[in-house]
Every structure is written in structure tokens, then in C-alpha cells.
Structure 1
Amino acid sequence: MGKVVFENLQVYQLSEKLADLLWEIVIRWNYFERDTIDKQLVRCADSIGANIAEGTGKGSFADNKRYAKIARGSLYETKHWLRRAYKRNLLKHDETTQLKSLIDELLPRLSAYINSIGTVSKNKNSMDD
């Protein structure tokens, strides 16, 4: 597996953007909201980038793909907690719009990244034959 610098991956950069925006929003919530929804939301949002980073460091395409899929699961969990926050009137309209835009960009890119893991090597090998 070729060395991938996770910081250079667009999916990683988008996941950081999402996690940072969420942090800016939830840090202003009251104690009860922060103690319930906030902790779950921040953990799963931070987990997206953490799993992308961890997967690139594992050393195999299979591990990288597995961790990228875990990252995608964390993105879906983030969506769940955002829906709960929205239903409980914790998010402003503009915050919801920003977050939805980031998620709508990140989800297909993350899926494409998952599908691409290992394919460059396979294509290269077949061209060498």
C-alpha cells in the first residue's frame, strides 16, 4: 500500500471542517444540551476524521477500507444526532443549512474514497503485465 498522507485527503479535510463547525455551534449550548446531545455529536463527528486517519496508517488496503467504512458509519451517526438536535430546536436555520451542505458534500466523497481504496494499485499492476 502506498503511503497516503491523510491530511491531504479531501474527505479528511471536509470531516475536520464538519467537526470544527459542530464544535463552534455546540459550545454555546446550555449544560443539559451539552451533557446529552453535544457529547454524542462531537464524539461521532470527531470519529469521522479519526477513522480516516487511522485507516491510512494501518498499512493495508483492507484495513484502510474498513476504517473508512467506520468513518462513514460515524457520519451517519452524526446525521442522526443532528436530526435530534434540530427536532429539539437546538440548531438555528443557518447552522442547519451549513451542516447539511457539508454532509451532502462529504457523504458521496467518502463513499467514492472507500470505493477507490486499492484500485490504483490493481490498475497499475494490470498495466504492467
Structure 2
Amino acid sequence: MEKRYLGLNDLTSYKSAFEFSNEVWNLAIKWDYFAKDTIGKQFVNAADSISANIAEGFGRYHKKDKIKFYYYSLGSVKECTDWCNKAKIRNLISEKIYIKINEVLERLPREIHQLIKFTNEKLKT
């Protein structure tokens, strides 16, 4: 039997974060210029940063490097929470969308912490 290595797309946290960033993009792209230029760009960048940092960490060799980038992704989750709250208060998203986004933003840290725990347990260096 051939040994199969874990791939980036095997990570639940990465898949969730990647999907989330595209959902944020699809929301923000519809906003007017001012909303896109202020909240939209920041929200999209923060959302993109979650999966990008997971990907960068996954590509690192040493355990400490990997985990450092996974923690960066957690910071981006918190930043997204802030932008989501601002989008809601400024009437850029509906209550229904707000709830949907927050469900993901509450789930992602658990998934990222599971990735950190897995990395800590399975890698030696």
C-alpha cells in the first residue's frame, strides 16, 4: 500500500477559511464604491489572510514556523469579526448574513486550534 501524505486541501480549517473568503468577496463586490474602499477591502484582505496563513504555515518545514502562521490566521479571524460587526452596524449586510458569517467565525478558531494541536502532536521539529 502506497503511503499518502496529508495535503493542504485535506485540512478542514483551510477548506472552511478558503470558502469563507470567497463568501466575503461575493458580498463586498456588490457594495458601492465607498463601502468597498473602506470596509470591503479590509474585510476581504482579512478573510483572505485566514486561508493564506494556513497555507503558508502548512508549507513550512519546522513545527514552530507552521504554528506561528496558524496563530496569524487566528488573528485574522478576530479581524474579520470586527469588520463583520462594522458591516452589520453600517447596514451593508443583513441580519441573516451576519448570523451566517458569525457562525463561521465562531467555528474557524476551533478548527485552527485542532490543526495546531495536530501539528504539535505529530511533528517532532
Whether TM-score is above 0.5 comes out as yes
Q: Aligned partners of 1:30, 1:121: CA distance in 2, in Å?
A: 47
1:37 aligned partner: 39
Deviations 1:6-53 (A, max 9, x none): 121000000011111111111110000000000000001000000000
Of 95-104 and 37-46, deviating more is 95-104
Q: Aligned partners of 1:4, 1:61: CA distance in 2, in Å?
A: 15
CA contact (8 A) 1:11 1:110 kept: yes
CA contact (8 A) 2:63 2:123 kept: no
CA contact (8 A) 1:26 1:38 kept: yes
Counting only pairs closer than 5 Å after superposition, residues 44-55 of structure 1 correspond to structure 2 as: 44-55=46-57
Indicate the RMSD between aligned Cα atoms, in angstroms. Answer: 1.3
2:109 aligned partner: 107
Structure 1 runs of 4+ aligned residues shifted over 2 Å read none
CA contact (8 A) 1:47 1:71 kept: yes
Q: TM-score, normalised by structure 2?
A: 0.89
1:126 aligned partner: none
Matched length: 120
The structure whose Rg is larger is 1
CA contact (8 A) 2:47 2:80 kept: yes
Q: Using the TM superposition, give the Cα deviation of residue 4 of structure 1 relative to its aligned residue in structure 2, in angstroms.
A: 4.1
2:80 aligned partner: 78
SS of 1:117 mapped into structure 2: helix
Q: Aligned partners of 1:58, 1:113: CA distance in 2, in Å?
A: 14
Q: Identical aligned pairs, as a percentage? A: 30
**More relative contact order in 1 or in 2 (CA 8 Å, sep 6+)?**
1
Q: Aligned partners of 2:81, 2:34: CA distance in 1, in Å?
A: 20
In structure 1, give the amino acid aligned to 2:28: V
